[in-house]
Structure 1
Amino acid sequence: MKLALPGGIQGFLTEYWQKKPCLIKGGIQAFEDPLDANDLAGLAMEAEIESRLVVKNGDKWDVQHGPFENFPTSETDWTLLVQAVDHWFEQSQDLMSLFDFMPRWRIDDLMISFSVPGGGVGAHLDQYDVFIIQGEGRRRWRVGDKQPLKTLTPHPSLLQVEPFTEALIDEEMQPGDILYIPPGFPHEGYAIEPSLNYSVGFRAPSGRDLLSSFADLAIDKELYNHRYSDPDLRPREHNGEITLAELTRLKSNLTQIFNDDATLQRFFGQYLSEAKHELDLAPAEPAYQQEEVQQLLHEKAPLHRLAGAKALYLAGISDTLFVDGEAYDLPQQAVQALADSSAADVSVLAAHPDALAVLTDLINKGYFYFVEE
């Protein structure tokens, strides 16, 4: 599969990325679905996999959460949505690889939906970028311009916005068509005939998310316990007053935290590498010994990273590998060999014996695995 973006990758990023929506007719030529509705239903039956069933009945909406044992028999007005299919369905990797030009930490997951005619989730907006790829069937999509719209909650698990009249895009999508929607643009889609849609979402943490997670780290590690002090205190005539100098000192308690670059950098690496959805981890049984890993590397056995697992490093600080929220200190070349591709360069790893212990641990946990040829 090849991805055809208007103006090429750089042209698309310059003109459209986070600026305006775009419909790309035939964005993937000769598109073939990596799964069918039955495969998706099978995934929705698994307890580890996040799934939803959205049913519309007139003006009423119902949302059920998986795992499911059965599905609606109606031929209209329902949609099955399954999150993080790329974590569980190996055949979806070719589709995800089309977006390798993006930073891996920005890619969230692949959500796949199956809809019968009339099926959809209503008008809504997202706070992240999304590429929606049309698979089998046809679906009509409308995308509006950014505008103030009243939020609606027709069901506690369903957040919508009020209908929008004018649309920037109002088109019927067919297999291989791609719809790109930046954050904040309202959109709605419904199936014209039974159809599959593939949504590649992008991670966009808010300041609140970062602060909350960083506070958790500080509490867990018992960091930043320094307290306010005022050894130069003077008698106060207005004792209800908080002075500017006191506010400055209080603020310095916070700025000391955010000037701690070493801790912040390690936090960002761990936070951004952590999977938001369950991974299909299968620890090695029996566990590998370092000598076995070393021998397989010398034999140039293909080494692959688990689908959905993020292996990252920080620019300029590339001697630490971050995998699913954990940090591992490794030689720079070994870090890059493990992080920059889904299939690691085993020749580079074989040349760095210091990396063997960490690599063996990651293989035994299931984050990397050897492929038999």
Structure 2
Amino acid sequence: MFTLHHLEPKTFLRDYWQKKPLLIRQGFKDFVDPLDEHDLAGLAMEEDIDARIVSQINGQWHLTQGPFESFDALCVGQWSLLVQNVDGYIDDASSLLNAFNFIPRWRVDDLMVSFSVPGAGVGPHLDQYDVFIIQGKGKRHWQVGDKGQHKTLLPHPKLSQVAAFEPIIDAVLQPGDILYIPPGFPHCGEAITDCLNYSVGFRAPDQKALLSDFADYALIQQNYFNERYQDPDLPTRKLAGELKLTEITQLKAMMKRALDDPECDHWLASYLSFANDTLRPPTPLLNQQQVHGYICEGGPVYRRLDVKPIWRESRTDKVVIHMGDSHFELTQSLLPVVESLFSATEWCYCDDLLATELAGEDLSALTQLLTQWLNLGYWSCELHDDMQE
């Protein structure tokens, strides 16, 4: 369990979020690393892991992309190992993200973890997304500059940096300290000792990404987005090559109607959630009665770390939960319990005070949902192990 200290969410969102950087001393008291550099190296050897080693040797920058079979030839000079999406593989790393639940889940991208030797870093750079950098073991010197125009440098084809800047934050971070950096503020971190850093990054999709994915979605929808342009009051014109401003307005209005369609809301929530659609359903499939008995007897359920659900606000008493391409409807009264189920990597009905107060239709509805999720492989439980013995 990671509890955030010295940060009041309302004040932070009002005064700092996407406005200015903030150093939070001892944001995590008595911080314990959820993994070590050996765990990180093991992840970096996996085929589906996004990992890289950035090093500086005699003033020259080098970057090698994983996965790695060996580190001896690459971990030389002042080097850092960086691994993306660690929250998808390590339970405790995933739990670290829950400390930032005052920011919507759909905005969270992933947890990147880095290990650096003394003097190592990735150079001065800026990001186009918000990030909380948590200091794990060791010490690191951080400088953050002000937002503005900063000259871009490319010391390596895969490594974008910026020119030196005047710092507005200049500090050495100790274990448990947190540095928040909004988009566009240049920053540079250099390890003083062997150290681990945890970067909670937040997704900020741009128009290109959204429009591209929506176009792909619209192409496969046979019952939606089929409106064609019509001009029954077509005026005459002197030159056939002219595209009138009124016609541009009509075409853009037709495109806007596609974005205003409720089906677009469905696409957007699916796009912003995630669930691995390559999972194989467990066998044998469970029924609702089995799941009800299991959870009421205290049996735990475990969320797959790569399942990131969100729910879509509604004007009715129903909401829609999205997990990638899958979606499920439930009543708003169940949301507090479902939220605790989503946040935990291990959830137990008997330990959830809100859940144990459920009865009748609400308990039945929760059990029905959980049965579906278990049978899809999004959650797992010990029932399958018992049935196979």
CA drift at 1:358: 4.7
Give the aligned residue type for 1:173.
Answer: L
Q: 1:24 to 1:281 in 2, by over 3 A?
A: farther
Instruction: Specify the code of the residue in structure 1 equivalent to 2:372.
Output: D
Q: 1:253 to 1:43 in 2, by over 3 A?
A: same
- CA drift of 1:85 comes to 1.0
Aligned-pair RMSD on alpha carbons?
2.6
Report the equivalent of 2:374: 363
Shift of 1:59: 3.5
- Of 92-101 and 194-203, more deviation after overlay is shown by 92-101
The alignment status of 1:210 with 2:210, answered yes or no, reads yes
Find the aligned partners of 2:18 and 2:103 in 1 and give their Cα distance: 13
3-state SS of paired residue (2:100): coil
TM-score (norm 1): 0.89
Q: Deviations over 1:125-166 (max 9, x none)?
A: 1111111111111111111001211222232322222222x1
Q: Helix, strand or coil: the match of 2:121?
A: coil
SS at 2:67's partner residue?
Answer: coil
One of 287, 291, 301 as aligned partner of 1:303: 301
Matched, 1:14 2:11: no
User: Is contact 1:124-1:160 (8 Å) kept?
Assistant: yes
- Kindly report which structure 2 residues correspond to 1:86-235, keeping only aligned pairs within 5 A, or say none: 86-164=87-165, 166-222=166-222, 223-235=224-236
- Equivalents in 2 of 1:293, 1:303: separation in Å? 10
**1-structure distance, mates of 2:291, 2:359:** 10
Q: 1:304 to 1:66 in 2, by over 3 A?
A: same
Residue 362 (structure 1) shift: 1.8
Deviation at 1:355, TM superposition (A): 5.9
Taking structure 2 as the reference length, what is the TM-score of the superposition?
Answer: 0.85
In structure 2, the CA distance between the partners of 1:94 and 1:310, relative to structure 1 (3 Å rule), is closer
Contact kept? 1:269, 1:325, Cα under 8 Å: no
Is the alpha carbon distance of 1:69 and 1:162 closer, same or farther for their aligned partners in structure 2, counting shifts above 3 Å? same
Report the CA distance shift for 1:325/1:162 in structure 2 as closer, same or farther (over 3 A). farther
Q: Deviations over 1:255-291 (max 9, x none)?
A: 221221x11221121111126xx79968534432333
Name the amino acid aligned to 1:295: G
Q: Which whole-Å deviations, capped at 9, do the CAs of 1:290-322 have from their partners, x for residues lacking one?
A: 332233244353334333422211122543211
After the TM superposition, which residues 73-92 of structure 1 pair with which residues of structure 2 at under 5 Å, given as runs?
76-92=77-93
Residue identity opposite 1:245 in structure 2: T
State how many pairs are aligned.
367
The corresponding residue for 1:45 is 45
Mean Cα displacement is larger for which, 62-71 or 196-205?
62-71
| Bigger mean CA deviation after superposition, 8-17 or 102-111 | 8-17
SS at match of 1:98: helix
Identity of aligned residues (%): 45
Q: Which residue is 1:289 aligned to?
A: 287
Query: Which is further off, 108-117 or 52-61?
Result: 52-61
Opposite residue 368 of structure 1, the aligned amino acid is W
Q: Separation in 1 of the partners of 2:199 and 2:360?
A: 38
2:252 aligned residue: 251
Question: What is the match of residue 268 of structure 1?
Answer: 268
Give distance in 2, aligned partners of 1:65 and 1:189. Answer: 21
Once the two structures are TM-superposed, the CA of residue 94 in structure 1 deviates from its matched residue by 3.8
Give the CA deviation at 1:338.
2.6
Aligned equivalents of 2:235 and 2:258: distance in 1? 28
1:54 aligned onto 2:54: yes
Structure 2 CA distance for partners of 1:225 and 1:212, relative to 1, 3 Å: same
- CA deviation string 1:172-224 (max 9, x = no partner): 11111111101110111111111100111112112222111111110121442
SS of equivalent residue, structure 2 residue 167: coil
Displacement of 1:349 in angstroms is 8.6
1:321-355 Cα distance to aligned partner (Å, 9 max, x none): 11134222344444653345433765549744456
SS at match of 1:250: helix
Which residue identity does 2:6 align to in structure 1?
L
Q: What are structure 1's unaligned runs of at least 5 residues? A: none
Please give the alpha-carbon distance, in whole angstroms, between the structure 1 residues aligned to 2:263 and 2:326. Answer: 14
Contact 1:76 1:117 in 2 (8 A): no
- Is the deviation greater in 86-95 or in 103-112? 86-95
Measured after TM superposition, the shift of residue 357 of structure 1 is 5.3
Q: Is the counterpart of residue 241 in structure 1 residue 268 in structure 2?
A: no
